[in-house]
Amino acid sequence: MSLKYNTQKFIYECIDCGKQFDSNETIYLCPKCSKENIDSRPPKGVLRIVYNFFDILQKNFLFKDFKKNNFLDLLPINKIESLPKLKVGNTPLYEFDQLDNNELPFRLFFKDDSQNPTFSFKDRASSIVSAYAKEKGFETIVTASTGNAGSSLAGICAAQGQKAIIIVPETAPLAKLTQIIMYGATIVPVKGTYDDAFDLSIKASKEFGWYNRNTAFNPLTVEGKKTVSFEIFDQLGETIPDRIFVPVGDGVIISGVYKGFEDLLNLKLIDKIPTIVAVQSSESDNLTRNIKNKEFEIIPSTTAADSISVDIPRNFNMTKQFIQKYNGEYLSVSDNAILEASAILSRNTGIFSELAAASSFAGILKYSEENKLDKNSINVVLLTGSGLKDINSVQKILNIPKAIQPTIENLKKIIS
């Protein structure tokens, strides 16, 4: 184990070359791999954070002690007080035993992260990034976003008294843009794709000295997202599920889920990693489709699920490593299947998820149809964002009746 552990709470490790760095040697990417492979698609040099588990294990703490301290031992910040006052995480885990009045042969849980402050899973990452920036003296944080990461950062920064600069493609959904503006952030729409916004945000960080939140660029985002795994473990009575279905775009959320369970494994609190299932839209499957390919092939995304619409999955290499190391599974589902899943989810649970989130539910529905779920197995579906963030995407399946004259006879016609 690296000698750097003697003085550092954590170190960075490049997922491509394996080189380790003190936490004050770099801040975003591996200097060597990112420089030598500057035009690589997907990019190389993404860093993962590694903690000194030897020292942590010497404390002989139980999970309840770990939880009581808000998981601080395994977070890249020094003080819980640095986190925003808003309640991030600790979202509910609901169990349902029926769908459309049919009993399920397996156990089905929904982890509803739309109940975070800005109604998105992205708050987990934004809160850690914001807290780290606060401890390091950064006053301005910038990010590129198709909507959720931007509205999340804007809301968290509003709570923290920090300045947020959000660079978005001009096609980002109006509801998410509205959030960003209402939170008081500076919004910068750009002509082009998310990747164009991403590149501009990195240039801006270098030019103005802003702290950058970009997923798969800032390694702290994975650390924020991994807390969902700690919560699932806690909410299931300190046990792990058989499968977790995760919506996938650039691969940072699923890497966070893996990282959380890997941390629990390193703490000897679990003896194996649950099977984690990556679900993508077949109209934006640049991550899962390339896992077994020798040459990375980009097919332009056309999915209506904007939060997982990604041409260049920037966390591809880390995600691929996790999936291969822990025998993960992956599949793609059509946009029509995602739309249908969103409707089934809403009418059976009362949870209205955006299409990107509903893709994970579409994934488990497909597994169920193909009899891939064992009887009484425990399955968790990760729901990452509220459907109110993008109501336009479900308009095609809505059938709003015409107005009637307010008589009982007309009412009977409708309810019959």
Compute the average pLDDT of residues 74-99: 96
CATH topology for the 123-218 domain = Rossmann fold (3.40.50)
Look at residue 6 in the predicted model and tell me its pLDDT: 56
Compute the average pLDDT of residues 54-60: 83
Compute the average pLDDT of residues 182-205: 92
**Per-residue model confidence as pLDDT tens digits over 310-353:** 899 999 999 999 999 999 999 999 999 999 999 999 999 999 99
Q: For the CA atoms of the chain, what is the radius of gyration?
A: 21
Beta carbons of 193 and 169 less than 8 angstroms apart: yes
Structure tokens at 141: 């944080």
> Is the torsion defined by CA of 233, 237, 240, 246 positive or negative?
negative
Structure tokens at 395: 């308009």
Residues pairing with 279 in the sheet: 247, 331
Judge whether residue 263 has pLDDT over 60: yes
Beta carbons of 364 and 245 less than 8 angstroms apart: yes
Which of these, 18, 43, 1, 4, lies nearest to 218 by C-alpha position?
Answer: 43
CA 67 to chain centre: 21
Q: What is the DSSP string of 233-270?
A: HHHTTS---SEEEEE-SSSHHHHHHHHHHHHHHHTTS-
How do beta strands 163-169 and 140-144 pair? parallel
Least confident of 17-26, 97-106, 132-141: 17-26
The SS3 call for residue 405 is: coil
Structure tokens at 220: 């702290």
* Fold match, 93-118+221-397 / 123-218: yes
Q: At what angle do helices 123-136 and 148-160 cross, to 10 degrees?
A: 40
Task: Name the band, by pLDDT with cuts 50, 70 and 90, for residue 163.
Answer: very high
In one letter, which amino acid is 44? K
Look at residue 286 in the predicted model and tell me its pLDDT: 96
Distance CA 149, CA 252 (A): 12
Judge whether residue 72 has pLDDT over 70: yes
Task: Name the band, by pLDDT with cuts 50, 70 and 90, for residue 3.
Answer: very low
**Per-residue model confidence as pLDDT tens digits over 370-409:** 999 999 999 999 999 999 887 877 878 878 888 988 999 9
Distance CA 108, CA 112 (A): 13
Which of these, 131, 127, 118, 221, lies nearest to 177 by C-alpha position?
Answer: 118
Distance CA 403, CA 98 (A): 33
Look at residue 4 in the predicted model and tell me its pLDDT: 56
Judge whether residue 124 has pLDDT over 80: yes
Compute the average pLDDT of residues 170-192: 89
Beta carbons of 245 and 360 less than 8 angstroms apart: yes
Domain boundaries, the chain: 3-60, 93-118+221-397, 123-218
CB count, 10 Å around CB of 290? 18
Average pLDDT of the chain is 93
CA 19 to chain centre: 26
- The runs of H, that is alpha helices, within 79-193 are 123-136, 148-160, 174-182
Peptide linkage before 300 cis (omega within 30 of 0): no
Look at residue 56 in the predicted model and tell me its pLDDT: 86
Look at residue 1 in the predicted model and tell me its pLDDT: 43
Domain 93-118+221-397 carries which CATH code?
A: 3.40.50.1100
Compute the average pLDDT of residues 357-370: 98
Beta carbons of 113 and 125 less than 8 angstroms apart: no
Q: From residue 3, how far is each of 8, 10, 21, 52, 193 by CA, in Å?
A: 9, 11, 11, 10, 43
Judge whether residue 8 has pLDDT over 60: yes
Look at residue 414 in the predicted model and tell me its pLDDT: 85
